[in-house]
C-alpha cells in the first residue's frame, strides 16, 4: 500500500488520498472466524491488534452454528481499558462494486452483530501510533433488551456445555472454538480465554463419550487431551466434522 497523505472516513468506505491519486478502500478487523476464514475477496491482510477490547463469548448465533431453539455461543468484543485483542485486518480496494459486494457479504454473515465500530489497528511492534485508523469492526450492544442476540456472560462450565452441544446449518459450535484456538496459535498470539473455554469444551465432550483429535506439538490445539469415560476402540472414536465456509 502506498503511503497516504491522509485518510478520510466516508462510511463505510475510506477515501485514501495519495498525491494526485484517489483510491476507494475499506479495512475490516476480524477477531472470530474472519481470522481463519474471511470468505470474501480481499487485496491485503495484516495480523495485529486493537486496544481496549477483549473477546467474550456472549453472543448468540442462531443461523450458522446454532438454531433459535438451541443458540450457539460466538465471540464479540467487550470494552476493557488496557486490554488488547489480536486478530487480522483485511483491505478491499479496486472499485465500488467490489467493495459493495464485500460489505454485503459481511453484513449478511455478521447479521447478529448490531453495530459497526471504527477502531485503530496496530501491527506487532507498533504500539504507540496506529498503523491504520477508522478500521471497521463488527460489535454488539451488550444489552438483552435492545439486542436480541446478546446472551450475556455465564459460568465457564455452562458456556462449555452450550458450545459442546449446539449445532446449525454451518456446523458445530465446538468447531468454532477449536478453529479459533488454532487460528490464534497460528498467528502466534493465543488468547487465554479461548484456551480456557476450549479446554472446558473438551472436558464436556469427554464426559459425553466423544473424542477430539489432537494435532502434534508442532501444530497443537491447546487444551487437555481427554479420553471418553467408557472404553472405545480407536476406530469407534467420532471425528468432528470440518467447518463449512460460511460462518459467523
Judge contact between 18 and 2, C-beta under 8 A: yes
Q: Which of 46, 124, 49 is nearest to 91 (CA)?
A: 46
- Which of 81, 107, 110, 200 is catalytic? The answer is 110
126 tagged catalytic? no
Judge contact between 36 and 30, C-beta under 8 A: no
Secondary structure of the chain: what % helix, strand, coil (to 5)? 25, 35, 40
Beta partners for residue 59, in sequence order: 74, 150
* Angle at CA of residue 205, ends 59 and 88, nearest 5°: 45
Count Cβ atoms below 10 Å from residue 69 Cβ, excluding itself: 7
Count Cβ atoms below 10 Å from residue 76 Cβ, excluding itself: 26
117 exposure class (CB count in 10 Å sphere: 0-12, 13-18, 19+) = middle
Q: So which residues are the catalytic ones?
A: 110
Amino acid at each position: 500500500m502506498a503511503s497516504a497523505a491522509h485518510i478520510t472516513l466516508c462510511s463505510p468506505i475510506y477515501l485514501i488520498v495519495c498525491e494526485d491519486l484517489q483510491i476507494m478502500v475499506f479495512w475490516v478487523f476480524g477477531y472470530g472466524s474472519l481470522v481463519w476464514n474471511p470468505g470474501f475477496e480481499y487485496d491485503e491482510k495484516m495480523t495485529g491488534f486493537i486496544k481496549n477490547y477483549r473477546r467474550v463469548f456472549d453472543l448468540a448465533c442462531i443461523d450458522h452454528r446454532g438454531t433459535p431453539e438451541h443458540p450457539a455461543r460466538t465471540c464479540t468484543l467487550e470494552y476493557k481499558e488496557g486490554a488488547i485483542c489480536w486478530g487480522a485486518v483485511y483491505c478491499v480496494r479496486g472499485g465500488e462494486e467490489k467493495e459493495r459486494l464485500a460489505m454485503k457479504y459481511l453484513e449478511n454473515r455478521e447479521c447478529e452483530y448490531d453495530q459497526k465500530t471504527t477502531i485503530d489497528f496496530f501491527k506487532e511492534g507498533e504500539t504507540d501510533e496506529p498503523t491504520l485508523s477508522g478500521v471497521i469492526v463488527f460489535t454488539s450492544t451488550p444489552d438483552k433488551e435492545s439486542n436480541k442476540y446478546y446472551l450475556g456472560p455465564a459460568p465457564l462450565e455452562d458456556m462449555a456445555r452450550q458450545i459442546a452441544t449446539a449445532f446449525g446449518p454451518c456446523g458445530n459450535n465446538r468447531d468454532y472454538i477449536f478453529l479459533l484456538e488454532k487460528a490464534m496459535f497460528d498467528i502466534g498470539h493465543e488468547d487465554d480465554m479461548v484456551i480456557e473455554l476450549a479446554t472446558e469444551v473438551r472436558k464436556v465432550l469427554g464426559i459425553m463419550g466423544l473424542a477430539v483429535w489432537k494435532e502434534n506439538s508442532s501444530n497443537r490445539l491447546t487444551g487437555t487431551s481427554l479420553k471418553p469415560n467408557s472404553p472405545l476402540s480407536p476406530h469407534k472414536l467420532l471425528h468432528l466434522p470440518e467447518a463449512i465456509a460460511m460462518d459467523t
